[in-house]
């Protein structure tokens, strides 16, 4: 299945596609990069290291890491149950898992507020707390690890697990030595998707995070604040940091999983 | 094997990066090379397989005695997590729509709220923008997928990585980026747009652009793995028998990727209908002038009108779940294999 | 199995296509009567909607529909300057209209009428939870260590600027020197737990218990109480008279003139009063639910300061207080360093 070199119509199509892609994605993102550094490097650093902005970025990144971690564990567990377990109504779980992905984020915020807000039937109110932010992030990142791990789990040849069990390996050892290395690429892929989504999240946080500086202020809401205060350079600077962090985590996880795959 | 790539459910599999080497954290097809783990089992013929290990389903007796308990615990953990995180909150929204906390309840009150003309406008605008976005992403997505998989050109890997970029960009960043580039008075292309009298920001084209941006990768990520899977044999055979490029595409390629395209379109539609952050920035957000369904929810909530916000949110929940159910029905059943 | 799935897919696509076409058609046919676009600051949506409803019952207002967008005054003003559609603007303070005059969108003589361009009044008040647990009596209490203040951010919000002038005005009126008044402001800033985006967002933050005192418009406190919020509010002895301008844009629909006339008429002003604003014309008497005393809703404070008389006009105020790097920026920076 060796790809061909471009034919003339294909080249024209590529040109058209690139033009559309540039207009839609590349040029606007380039505008961000350039606007953030328009005032010079000093101004960029000054914006990022402003205590309040820095605190918002730090909170966002730490919360996202936490959410990604929880999803690695729970997402794998959910995928396991979906693939290896059997019980009536399991098909309903499939739909439930995808709800956070299909739901508009502002609606997700309302959804969480109804059970975990001021009028909660459980009496739990996490509005304006870091737990509330964490909860919102768990909600929106739910499907990511599950859906990357699930197809791999499906394809996994159970003969090797059985052989390991027959040789005396405990379930845990089997999981750790046989399955985990096989699932690692999928888990890290899902984790980086979950992380990227979590640091970018906006709609679900608008209603739940109280936006208290240093405590519950997240980066995406800070960006909006800068925009509304007519400080586009600062907004672009924070945006640039978010983009770079996403990219960095993506690359880091890619390297990590290659290392694991080689060892395993 | 052709149905593995879309058995991933609504969210797609890992980055559908198009590479020649299987080293990327790529599509399920790339997993095959890394699945063979380090534990080298002896040749199966020489090991008598114990009867207990044949019994996969029960996870039952012998060495795996504790396995049954673990299985039950895991099941409870997962069901509990999903119940408290998703099921109960969503059902509360449905409940609150018809029994608001500080307002009149009942189906009639709900109907009155949604027959507000602003609702019709908002949902119409959302649908229009979403259909444009999905259309553009389907057409260009198909083209880009074909280019990425069937051809090689300098920068192909870069393009493949860039195509996934919109998934990692925050919606407010998308809105900001579009404003910086296309705002009439301060954007890079401002003067050009003014001279053409085209208004993008604070007008429907801006909403369409924002919605298209955020849903861009979804069609491509569904189609690319399938194109890689099906290979070119049939297409080459058709061409060698004299079929033209367009004919080959319509008769051979398109039917083969039909379901992937459908899933990608439904994913894009759901994403486009739900966009909030980017639209908040590029749209004026006024009732009857730029207020999408999601902006309607936010605006009503912010104007002490929770009941209306819940009503609009309920409609959006309904649409989302319908899309999910449609996809679930259309997806070929995984259980019938193995 | 395959055929019914295919049929489902085809039906779904057809339904979507029909919905899409009706959406586009619906959008196009909306322009049967005049539509006036109102761009307002954060809090007067309820008031303007009530006035619009009454206007539509008059001869001049028959068949006129309204599109409205509401948000932080400064932000909204900038949006109009950047191309957002507006026939009539109702901002929190005069500077936000001046911006549009400078941008060539509003006539220079917009405020040469009987009310000097102002359409609604209010005063700065201190909002506390029901029962006033902190025992707040006036501006001086805001410097106490147990007080957590919510006020909007002057960079985006009009309400914020009125609040700051109120505090500063109180300081000067109670005999402090300018230096002492600046210090007073700094102490207040040090107690601010959140600089909200707009007056309404500040109310929402107060509702979420982010702080225990909210500095806001009197009309916002009254409206919140009308909508069932358990707030109390204190009208300080010395406070600032809030004057909200309303202006018609140069390119506005001619109906906008009738609208402005109606807004300034007894009927229009009565609707303002009912939602908590102080009327700008004489002879408007109505009971105001939600006010501290519905029969006497708008008490006159001992010292009512105005921007014209006590601060020298908005141009001078903007230069001294709110320009980039001016007094307020310096005080905020100094307050954080503590």
Can you list the domains of chain A with their CATH numbers? Answer: 24-263 (1.10.3720.10)
Residues B81 and B115 in one domain: no
In a shared domain, residues C227 and C331: yes
Higher-confidence residue: B326 or B291?
A: B291
Looking at the domain assignment, is residue B145 inside a domain?
yes
Q: Considering B47, B69, B98, which residue would you say is the last residue of a domain?
A: B98
Is position B71 within any domain?
yes
C139: CATH: 3.40.190.10
Instruction: Establish if B202 belongs to a structural domain.
Output: yes
| Collapsed DSSP state (helix, strand, coil) of residue B264 | helix
Same domain as B158, residue B73: no
Residues of B at the C interface (Cβ-Cβ below 8 Å)? 102, 117, 120-121, 123-125, 127-128, 131, 183-186, 199, 201-202, 262, 269, 284-291, 299, 302-304, 326, 329-330
- Give residue for tokens 């300080």: C236
Residues B143 and B74 in one domain: no
The whole-number average pLDDT for the span C7-15 is 62
For residue C145, pLDDT beyond 80? yes
User: Would B10 be classed as within a structural domain?
Assistant: no
Burial environment of residue B282 by CB neighbours within 10 A (0 to 12, 13 to 18, 19 or more): buried
Locus of tokens 């101004």: A43
pLDDT higher than threshold 90 for residue C236: yes
Q: Which two tokens stand for residue A261?
A: 């795959």
Among B99, B166, B170, most A C-beta atoms within 10 A, so best to mutate, is B170
What integer is the mean pLDDT of C190-204? 94
In a domain, C288, yes or no: no
From CA B275, how far away is CA A203, in angstroms rounded? 9
Residue C234: pLDDT above 90? yes
Which of residues 151 through 190 in chain A touch B, CB cutoff 8 A?
A: 151-152, 154-160, 162-168, 170-171, 177-179, 181-182, 185-186, 188-190
- CA–CA distance, C46 with C50 (Å, rounded to integer): 6
Residues B181, B87 share a domain: no
Q: How far is CA B206 from the centre of its chain?
A: 21
B18: Cβ contacts below 8 Å, ≥ 6 apart:
B148, B149, B156, B157, B160, B224, B228
Mean pLDDT of C234-257: 96
**Residue B165 located in a structural domain:** yes
Task: Point out the residue among A128, A229, A230 whose CB comes nearest to the CB of C210.
Answer: A128
CB contact under 8 A, A229 and C156: yes
Q: How confident is the model at residue B67 (pLDDT cuts 50, 70, 90)?
A: confident
One domain for residues B208 and B272: yes
In a domain, C81, yes or no: yes
Q: How many CB pairs under 8 A join A and C?
A: 45
Name, in order, each residue with C-beta under 8 angstroms of A214's C-beta and a sequence gap of 6 or more: A51, A52, A55
Q: Does residue C24 register a pLDDT over 70? A: no
Q: Are A100 and A106 in contact (CB under 8 A)?
A: no
For residue B210, being part of any structural domain is answered with yes
Crossing angle between the packed helical segments B293-301 and B306-330, to the nearest 10 degrees: 150
In this predicted structure, the answer to whether residue C184 has a pLDDT above a threshold of 60 is yes
Cross-chain residue pair C197–A210, CB shorter than 8 Å: no
Asked if C69 and B102 come within 8 Å (Cβ–Cβ), the reply is: no
How far apart CA A229 and CA C72 sit, in angstroms, is: 10
Of B128, B269, B304, the CB nearest to C27: B128
Mean pLDDT of B123-138: 96
Q: How many helices (H) and strands (E) does chain B have?
A: 16, 1
Same domain, B277 and B192: yes
Q: Is the confidence at residue B311, as pLDDT, over 50?
A: yes
| Count of domains for chain B | 2
Where in B39-196 does DSSP place strands (E)?
151-152
Chain B residues with beta carbon closer than 8 angstroms to that of A86: 57
Residue C18 lies in a domain: no
CA angle C20, C24, C28 (to 5 degrees): 165
pTM of this structure = 0.89
Which pLDDT belongs to residue B27? Answer: 36
Q: For residue C236, tell me if it sits in a domain.
A: yes
Report the residue from A128, A213, A231 with minimal CB separation from C209. A128
By three-state DSSP, how is residue C65 classified? strand
Q: Would you tell me how many other CB atoms lie within 10 Å of the CB of residue A107? A: 28
Please tell me the distance from the alpha carbon of residue A211 to that of residue A184, in angstroms, as a whole number: 36
Structural domain span for residue B120: 106-330
Look at chain C and report how many structural domains it folds into: 2
Asked, for residue C112, whether it belongs to a domain, the answer is yes
What is the reported pLDDT for A163? Answer: 84
Contacting residues for A184 by C-beta, under 8 A, at least 6 apart: A257, A260, A261, A264
Model confidence at C42: pLDDT above 60: yes
Residue B28 has pLDDT above 70, yes or no: no
Q: What pLDDT is attached to residue B31?
A: 35
Residues B207 and B298 in one domain: yes
Q: Is residue C289 part of a domain?
A: no
C106 plus C65 within the same structural domain: yes
Gap from C221 CA to chain A (nearest CA, Å)? 20
Q: In this predicted structure, what is the pLDDT of residue A160?
A: 79
Query: B145 vs A154, B216, B219, C78, CA distance in Å?
Result: 26, 12, 9, 41
- DSSP, collapsed to helix, strand or coil, labels residue C35 as strand
Stretches where chain A sits below pLDDT 50 are none
Last residue of a domain, one of B71, B98, B125: B98
How many residues belong to chain B? 338
What single string gives the DSSP state of each residue in B193-248? HHHHT---TTSHHHHHHHHHHHHHHHHHHHHHHHHHHH-SHHHHHHHHTT--HHHH
Is the domain of C132 the same as that of C181?
yes
Residue B141 lies in a domain: yes
Statement: residue C44 has pLDDT above 90: yes
Q: Do C84 and B287 touch (CB under 8 A)?
A: no
The continuous run of DSSP H or E covering B30 comes out as helix B28-35
Question: Could you tell me which of B248, B212, B156, B21 has the C-alpha nearest to residue A11?
Answer: B156
Is position B6 within any domain? no
Q: List alpha helices for chain C, DSSP H.
A: 2-28, 45-55, 73-81, 94-102, 158-173, 178-190, 199-207, 218-226, 255-263, 266-274, 307-311, 314-317, 327-337
Q: Which domain holds residue C215?
A: 122-241+299-337
Tell me: do B80 and B151 sit in the same domain. Answer: no
Q: How far apart are CA C74 and CA B302, in angstroms?
A: 18
Least confident of A172-181, B255-264, C326-335: A172-181
Q: In terms of domains, do C112 and C126 share one?
A: no
The reply to whether B94 and B111 lie within a common domain is no
C172 and C71 housed in the same domain: no
Answer whether B270 sits within 8 Å of A5, measured CB to CB: no
CB atoms within 10 A of CB C130: 10
Domain with residue B197: its CATH number is 1.10.3720.10
CB neighbour burial string for B186-198, b if at least 16 within 10 angstroms, e if fewer: ebbbbeebeeeee
CB B25 within 8 A of CB A189: yes
Residues B124 and B88 both lie in one domain: no
What pLDDT score was predicted for residue B53?
A: 42
What is the ipTM score, two decimals? 0.92
Contact A211 C336 (CB under 8 A): no
- B284/C69 Cβ within 8 A: yes
**Distance from the B59 Cα atom to the nearest Cα atom in chain C, whole angstroms:** 33
Asked if A211 and C205 come within 8 Å (Cβ–Cβ), the reply is: yes
* Most confident by average pLDDT, A170-179, B48-57, C179-188: C179-188
* C55 and C191, same domain (yes or no): no
Q: Are A196 and A105 in contact (CB under 8 A)?
A: no
Q: CB distance A31–B31 less than 8 Å?
A: no
Q: Is A3 helix (H, G, I), strand (E, B) or coil?
A: coil
Q: Residue C306: which region, alpha, beta or left (left: phi > 0; alpha: psi -120 to 50)?
A: beta
| C268, burial (CB in 10 Å: exposed 0-12, middle 13-18, buried 19+) | buried
How far is residue C280's CA from residue C241's CA, in Å, rounded to a whole number? 11
On the question of pLDDT at C227 being above 90, the answer is yes
Mean pLDDT of all residues in C233-247: 96
Which residues in chain B touch residue A119, judged by CB atoms under 8 angstroms apart? 101
Which pair of tokens denotes residue C102?
A: 């400078």
- The answer to whether residues C105 and C49 belong to one domain is yes
> Which residue has better confidence, B195 or A171?
B195
By the CB < 8 Å criterion, does C312 face chain B? no
Examine the fold and report which residue of B65, B98, B131 is the final residue of a domain before the chain moves on: B98
Residue C14 sits at the chain B interface (C-beta within 8 Å): no
Based on the fold, state whether residues C308 and C256 are members of the same structural domain: no
Q: Check whether residue C137 and residue C250 sit in a common domain.
A: no
Of C71, C75, C194, the CB nearest to A213: C194
| Residues C314 and C257 grouped into a single domain | no
* Residue A243 sits at the chain B interface (C-beta within 8 Å): yes
Q: Is A27 left (phi over 0), alpha (psi -120 to 50) or beta?
A: alpha
* 3-state DSSP of B290-337: ECCHHHHHHHHHCCCCHHHHHHHHHHHHHHHHHHHHHHHHHCCCCCCC
Q: Are residues B158 and B86 in the same domain?
A: no
Q: Is C99 contained in some domain? A: yes
* C67 and C161 share one domain: no
Provide the shortest C-alpha distance from residue A226 to chain B (in Å). Answer: 10
Does the residue C199 lie in any domain? yes
CB contact under 8 A, C75 and A228: yes
pLDDT tens-digit profile of B221-231?
999 999 988 88
Q: How far apart are CA A184 and CA A190, in angstroms?
A: 10
pLDDT of res. B65 = 53
Same domain as C181, residue C250: no
A1-10, C169-178, C243-252: least confidently modelled range: A1-10
Note whether B249 and B116 are same-domain residues.
Answer: yes
């Amino acid at each position: 299945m060796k790809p061909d070199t471009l034919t003339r119509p294909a080249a024209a199509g590529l040109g058209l596609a690139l033009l559309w892609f540039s207009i839609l994605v590349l040029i606007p993102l380039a505008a961000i990069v350039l606007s953030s550094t328009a005032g010079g490097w000093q101004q960029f650093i000054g914006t990022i290291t402003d205590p309040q902005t820095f605190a918002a970025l730090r909170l966002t990144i730490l919360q996202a890491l936490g959410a990604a971690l929880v999803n690695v564990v729970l997402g794998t567990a959910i995928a396991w149950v979906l693939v290896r377990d059997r019980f009536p109504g399991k098909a309903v779980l499939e739909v439930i898992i995808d709800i956070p992905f299909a739901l508009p984020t502002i609606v997700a915020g309302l959804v969480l507020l109804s059970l975990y807000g001021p009028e909660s039937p459980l009496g739990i109110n996490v509005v304006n707390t870091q737990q509330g932010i964490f909860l919102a992030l768990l909600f929106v990142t739910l499907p990511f690890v599950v859906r990357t791990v699930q197809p791999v789990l499906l394809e996994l040849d159970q003969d090797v697990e059985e052989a390991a069990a027959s040789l005396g390996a405990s379930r845990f050892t089997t999981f750790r030595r046989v399955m985990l290395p096989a699932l690692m690429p999928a888990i890290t892929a899902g984790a980086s998707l979950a992380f990227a989504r979590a640091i970018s999240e906006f709609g679900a946080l608008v209603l739940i995070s109280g936006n208290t500086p240093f405590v519950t202020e997240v980066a995406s809401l800070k960006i909006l604040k800068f925009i509304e205060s007519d400080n586009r350079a600062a907004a672009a600077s924070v945006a640039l940091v978010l983009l770079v962090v996403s990219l960095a985590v993506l690359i880091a996880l890619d390297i990590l999983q290659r290392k694991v795959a080689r060892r395993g | 094997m052709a149905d593995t790539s879309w058995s991933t459910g609504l969210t797609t599999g890992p980055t559908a990066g198009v590479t020649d080497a299987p080293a990327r954290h790529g599509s399920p097809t790339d997993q095959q090379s890394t699945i063979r783990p380090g534990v080298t089992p002896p040749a199966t013929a020489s090991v008598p397989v114990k009867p207990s290990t044949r019994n996969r389903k029960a996870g039952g007796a012998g060495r795996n005695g504790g396995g049954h308990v673990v299985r039950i615990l895991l099941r409870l953990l997962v069901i509990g997590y999903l119940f408290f995180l998703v099921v109960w909150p969503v059902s509360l929204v449905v409940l609150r729509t018809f029994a608001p906390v500080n307002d009149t309840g009942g189906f009639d009150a709900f109907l009155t709220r949604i027959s507000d003309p602003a609702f019709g406008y908002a949902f119409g605008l959302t649908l229009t923008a979403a259909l444009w976005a999905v259309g553009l992403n389907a057409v260009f997505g198909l083209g880009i997928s074909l280019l990425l998989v069937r051809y090689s050109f300098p920068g192909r890997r870069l393009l493949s990585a860039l195509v996934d970029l919109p998934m990692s960009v925050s919606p407010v960043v998308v809105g900001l980026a579009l404003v910086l580039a296309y705002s009439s008075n301060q954007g890079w292309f401002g003067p050009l747009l003014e001279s053409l009298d085209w208004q993008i920001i604070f007008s429907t084209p801006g909403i369409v652009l924002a919605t298209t941006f955020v849903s861009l990768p979804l069609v491509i990520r569904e189609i690319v793995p399938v194109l890689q899977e099906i290979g070119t044999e049939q297409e080459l055979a058709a061409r060698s028998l004299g079929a033209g490029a367009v004919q080959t595409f319509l008769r051979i390629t398109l039917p083969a990727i039909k379901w992937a395209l459908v899933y990608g379109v439904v994913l894009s539609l759901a994403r486009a209908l739900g966009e909030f952050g980017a639209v908040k920035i590029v749209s004026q957000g006024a009732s009857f002038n730029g207020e999408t369904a999601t902006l309607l929810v936010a605006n009503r909530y912010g104007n002490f009108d929770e009941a209306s916000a819940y009503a609009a949110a309920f409609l959006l929940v309904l649409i989302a779940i319908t899309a999910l159910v449609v996809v679930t029905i259309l997806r070929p059943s995984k259980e019938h294999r193995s | 199995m395959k055929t019914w799935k295919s049929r489902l897919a085809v039906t779904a696509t057809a339904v979507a296509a029909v919905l899409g076409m009706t959406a586009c058609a619906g959008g196009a046919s909306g322009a049967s009567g005049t539509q006036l676009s109102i761009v307002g600051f954060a809090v007067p949506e309820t008031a303007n909607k009530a006035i619009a409803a009454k206007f539509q019952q008059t001869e001049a207002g028959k068949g006129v529909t309204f599109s409205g967008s509401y948000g932080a005054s400064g932000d909204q003003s900038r949006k109009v300057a950047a191309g957002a559609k507006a026939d009539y603007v109702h901002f929190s303070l005069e500077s936000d209209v001046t911006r549009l005059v400078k941008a060539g969108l509003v006539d220079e003589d917009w405020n040469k009428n009987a009310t000097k361009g102002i359409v609604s009044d209010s005063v700065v008040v201190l909002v506390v939870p029901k029962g006033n647990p902190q025992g707040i009596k006036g501006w001086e209490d805001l410097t106490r260590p147990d007080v957590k203040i919510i006020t909007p951010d002057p960079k985006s919000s009009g309400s914020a600027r009125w609040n700051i002038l109120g505090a500063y005005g109180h300081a000067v009126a109670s005999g402090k020197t300018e230096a002492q008044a600046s210090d007073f402001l700094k102490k207040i800033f040090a107690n601010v737990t959140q600089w909200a985006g707009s007056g309404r967002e500040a109310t929402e933050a107060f509702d979420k218990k982010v702080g225990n005192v909210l500095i806001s418009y009197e009309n916002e406190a009254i409206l919140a109480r009308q909508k069932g919020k358990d707030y109390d509010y204190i009208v300080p002895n010395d406070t600032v008279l809030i004057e909200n301008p309303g202006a018609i844009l140069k390119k506005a629909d001619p109906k906008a003139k009738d609208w402005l006339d109606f807004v300034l008429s007894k009927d229009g002003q009565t609707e303002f009063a009912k939602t908590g604003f102080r009327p700008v014309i004489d002879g408007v008497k109505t009971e105001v639910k939600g006010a501290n005393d519905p029969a006497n809703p708008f008490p006159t404070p001992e010292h009512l300061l105005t921007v014209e008389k006590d601060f020298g006009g908005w141009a001078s105020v903007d230069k001294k207080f709110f320009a980039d790097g001016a007094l307020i920026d310096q005080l905020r920076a100094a307050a954080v360093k503590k």
